[in-house]
Amino acid sequence: MNRGGKLYTLTYGDLTSVVVNPIEKKPLFHYWPGSGALSAGSWGCNLRCIYCQNYTLSMVDANPERSSYTSPEAFIDLALSRGAEGLSFTFNEASCTLLEYILDCFRLAAERGLYRNLNTNAYLTLEALSLLVDAGLDSLCLDIKGDEAFYRRYCNGADVEVVWRNAMEARRRGLHVEMVNLLIPGANDDEGCIEEIIERTLKLGRETPLHFTGFYPAYRAWEYGLTRRTPVEVLERAREKALEEGLRYVYLGNVPGHPGENTYCPGCGALLIGRYGFSVVEYRVTGDKRCPECGCPIPIVGEPLL
């Protein structure tokens, strides 16, 4: 809110959903496997994606008359009391609606030994990203929605170059980054769009995990003709292409029980982490983070909590 030329936040500490989720639900597959993150968001978003699956939160404006308040200290205490190993701000675009609150929470969380994650569309300034990193942000689950044409048509004309710029900056600053692409039939599942996402993810490093997840229609998707769920075959082809082009860790989402949920050694192909949905059912990475069969180093941040 702008009062007399001074900006005031309407959402500081006004949290919507607050729940401990498996970190795999973000999805993050190479970051504290099997751990739980106290996950929270607020109201609103800086994009207006017409298919948003969290639209009941992201498309609602802040309203001080109905707001609640959770102090940063209370939020950290809640995480510890519920046995969470870290924090995740998610559900809406918290980087724009909860920024000051996140900064305060991350500073406290670092002091208390909790990890600090942000699920984000990465549509933020470099200054905001720097503030988050300086406060203790150590991982991003980054939603890359499509190519320039996709953002223009379905995401209120946002500039995809800002997203990729921030992904590169996050890697440069040493953050753990996993990329997530929701594949939508008839919108971003063509070969050209998938190829661009693969090529640009490779520039982040071939060990950067890339998740292709299945779409189901939500919000205003029907108005734009986006009425079909993603066929598993489309997800599988995208994964195969990404692996062929050199990415080492490519996953499928929203297909529980599919082998594409698992982590395999890029050296010998051995199964390293077996998953079912958001659960880790098998973990074979050694204590020094190598494949037990061939010794190939496996990039895992943190320790497994199984």
Residue 217 CA to residue 295 CA, distance in Å, equals 43
Q: Are 141 and 117 in contact (CB under 8 A)?
A: yes
pLDDT over 80 (residue 233): yes
The chain-wide mean pLDDT, for the chain, equals: 97
Look at residue 140 and give its three-state secondary structure: strand
pLDDT digits 0-9 by tens, 34-69: 999 999 999 999 999 999 999 999 999 888 778 889
Q: What is the pLDDT of residue 97?
A: 93
In the block, which residue shows the tokens 């051995």? 270
pLDDT digits 0-9 by tens, 88-105: 999 999 999 999 999 999
What share of the chain has pLDDT > 90, as a percent? 94
pLDDT over 90 (residue 225): yes
Using the CB atoms, write b or e for 8-26: b if 16+ within 10 Å.
eeebbbbbbeeebbbbbbb
Q: Taking Cα atoms as reference points, which of 69, 143, 80, 72 lies closest to residue 106?
A: 72
pLDDT grade, residue 1 (50/70/90)? Answer: confident
pLDDT over 80 (residue 228): yes
How large is the average pLDDT for residues 240-266? 98
Per DSSP, the residues of 256-298 read TT-GGGSEE-TTT--EEEEEETTEEEEE---TTSB-TTT--B-
> 216: buried, middle or exposed (CB in 10 Å: 19+, 13-18, 0-12)?
middle
pLDDT digits 0-9 by tens, 187-212: 999 999 999 999 999 999 999 999 99
What share of the chain has pLDDT > 70, as a percent? 100
In the chain, % helix, strand, coil (3-state, to 5) comes to 30, 20, 50
Q: Does domain 2-283 have CATH number 3.50.50.60?
A: no
pLDDT digits 0-9 by tens, 12-31: 999 999 999 999 999 999 99
Q: What is the pLDDT of residue 67?
A: 80
**Bond prior to 256 in cis (omega within 30° of 0):** no
Q: What is the pLDDT of residue 43?
A: 94
The tokens for 97 are 């609606």
Instruction: Tell me phi and psi for residue 117, to 5 degrees.
Output: -120, 150
